Structure 1
Amino acid sequence: MKRRAFFGALVATVALANAVMAQEKTIVVGTDIEAKPFDFAQDGKYVGFDQDLLAEIAKESGFKYTVNPMDFGALIPALQTANIDMAISSIFMTDARKKVVDFSDVYFTSALGVLVPETSDIKSGADLGGKKIASVTGAASTTWLKQNVPTAEVTLFPQFSNMVMELQSGRAEAVVYDYPYLAYYAKTEGKGKVKLLEKPVGEGIPVGIAFPKGSNLVAKTNEALKKIQADGRYDAIHKKWFGEASK
């Protein structure tokens, strides 16, 4: 009886230790840090809309995390190989991505935009045919370009900064990418050099946080998101980065 009691106590102790270890595990979060105003590096820290939201989710869910910066096109493969535990970087929830990773509930609604030089005569997405276009590897904009502007000469780059350099050098006539990124750049570093076409070329695209298939972090994240959106923290973060509360 004593041996059975000892064995039972040992099993319980091991189970408790495993549970504690699981809680203390540091979550690895993949992020493209050239994604202003969502994710970028400033004064040695990772900042932006996504990063503020991530901090609140971690606080609400009770987990520690570390940010692993990588090219946007590497995020989904890194989730598939379990090299990261989650990815946040304004990731569009496309049907193709849903087949290979799990997503949180929608936390932002985005669109695709067109960025051109200040003197460009491109006025809408309909004018992109036959033009030299820059976009990001693995982004939803590449699919849109293939489907809607098949005659465009598209060059793909790993980072946002690469596209901007291509545009400023004259090697690209337009950049097609996430509208909020382009809007932020046009108002800041690109002011007076580039302009963003006012009308998006793709509207109402849901954005979510991505996870490996079957991750138990999905439910925890969704629960945290609901609380953050309900108590006003989400609106405060949105206003901080976009100048207004979410609609």
Structure 2
Amino acid sequence: MRSTLSKTLATAAALVALAGCGSSAGDPAGQTLRVGTLADAPPSIYLENGTFTGYDNELLRDIARREGFSVEFVGTEFASLLASVNNRTFDIGSSTISTTDERKKTVAFSDGYSTGFTTIVTKKDAGLTEVPRFSGKRLGVVQASVQDDFASKKVPGAEVVRFPDYNAGFAQLRNGTLDGWVVPKDIGQKYLDQNPDVALEFGYTVETKDTPSAFAVRKDNKELLDKLNRGLSAAIADGTVKRLHGQFFKTEPLPAELEPGGPGLPVQNP
């Protein structure tokens, strides 16, 4: 794989040193904003040749350019990301974050920029194609992710095993200590494509369109929230979202709402 947790943390330490003290507040125009992200969830968010990239992060770079601020990416673990946005460690969270009601208690979300599917990756020919068949099985998830919530609440009888990142969960699935690995389908597909020697398949898949992925900001940072939404709207209108989606998601169709001229994916914050 292209990235590991240790590489993520090392990169994070370097970027923190460069970022200086504290985090920005108020109008972000002309500022460099610190963005918490992951390094091992391609094609959405990943580290390549020392640079954070992926659909989410390249879209955020485009929005920042339109709105007159800069972004500096810092690697982190997903379990602490929203709290780190809330406590001003990061200005923005960029990590394919599903906009659930529970998460809206901690942060505010921009409008959505992608939808997707949750899937359980299994060994090939395991026959685990329905939720009841996972009772008594060990399912790996990234801690505090939507997939963690899905496995815990909607797969009765499963033993949920939590990991800090995707690489760790995949390693356990690969060596046979997990029966299933619960991930966004696009991320699962990328791991399967990069590891054709491992006999894996999608066992069970469910659509997650009601909670689109969005950028997270502090609840009191309306200036930044407005800039993200304005920049995203412009990127949808001129086809940038479509272009970036096609660049990183080779086979997955773009939601109609994100096509040029589409209404977008509005997110309501409480």
Q: 1:246 aligns with which of 229, 254, 264?
A: 254
What root-mean-square deviation, in Å, do the aligned CA atoms of Structure 1 and Structure 2 show?
A: 1.8
Length-normalised TM-score, structure 1: 0.86
Q: What is the identity, as a one-letter code, of the residue corresponding to 2:240?
A: R
Tell me which structure has the larger Cα radius of gyration.
1
Is the aligned partner of 1:218 residue 2:202? Answer: no
Secondary structure, counterpart of 1:67 in structure 2: strand
Instruction: Name the structure 2 match of 1:30.
Output: 36
Q: What is the identity, as a one-letter code, of the residue corresponding to 2:235?
A: I
Q: Distance in 2 between matches of 1:181 and 1:191?
A: 17
Is the aligned partner of 1:124 residue 2:130? Answer: yes
User: 1:142-161 to 2 correspondence within 5 Å?
Assistant: 142-161=148-167
Note if contact 1:115-1:196 (Cα within 8 Å) is conserved in structure 2. yes
Q: What is the identity, as a one-letter code, of the residue corresponding to 1:220?
A: K
- In the TM superposition, what whole-angstrom CA distance separates every residue of 1:129-169 from its partner, at most 9, and x where no partner exists? 11011001010111112221231111100000000011111
User: 1:55-134 to 2 correspondence within 5 Å?
Assistant: 55-134=61-140
Q: Distance in 1 between matches of 2:82 and 2:140?
A: 21
Length-normalised TM-score, structure 2: 0.79
The runs of 4+ residues in structure 1 deviating greater than 6 Å are none
Instruction: Name the structure 2 match of 1:200.
Output: 205
Note if contact 1:134-1:155 (Cα within 8 Å) is conserved in structure 2. yes
Query: Where is the helix percentage greater, Structure 1 or Structure 2?
Result: 1
Q: Distance in 1 between matches of 2:190 and 2:197?
A: 10
Alpha-carbon offset, residue 64 of structure 1: 1.1
More displaced stretch, 220-229 vs 39-48: 39-48
Secondary structure, counterpart of 2:89 in structure 1: coil
Alpha-carbon offset, residue 124 of structure 1: 2.6
- In the TM superposition, what whole-angstrom CA distance separates every residue of 1:79-99 from its partner, at most 9, and x where no partner exists? 121100001110000010011
For structure 2, which runs of at least 5 residues remain unmatched after alignment?
1-24, 256-270
Secondary structure, counterpart of 2:156 in structure 1: coil
- In the TM superposition, what whole-angstrom CA distance separates every residue of 1:17-75 from its partner, at most 9, and x where no partner exists? xx9x9633210000011111111111121121112101101111110110010011111
For structure 1, which runs of at least 5 residues remain unmatched after alignment?
1-18
Q: What is the identity, as a one-letter code, of the residue corresponding to 1:203?
A: T
Secondary structure, counterpart of 1:23 in structure 2: coil
Q: Percent identity?
A: 26
Q: 2:242 aligns with which of 228, 231, 235?
A: 235
Alpha-carbon offset, residue 111 of structure 1: 2.2
- In the TM superposition, what whole-angstrom CA distance separates every residue of 1:158-209 from its partner, at most 9, and x where no partner exists? 0000000111111111001212111221222256431123x52343131111
Q: Distance in 2 between matches of 1:177 and 1:129?
A: 18
Secondary structure, counterpart of 1:123 in structure 2: coil
Note if contact 1:76-1:101 (Cα within 8 Å) is conserved in structure 2. yes
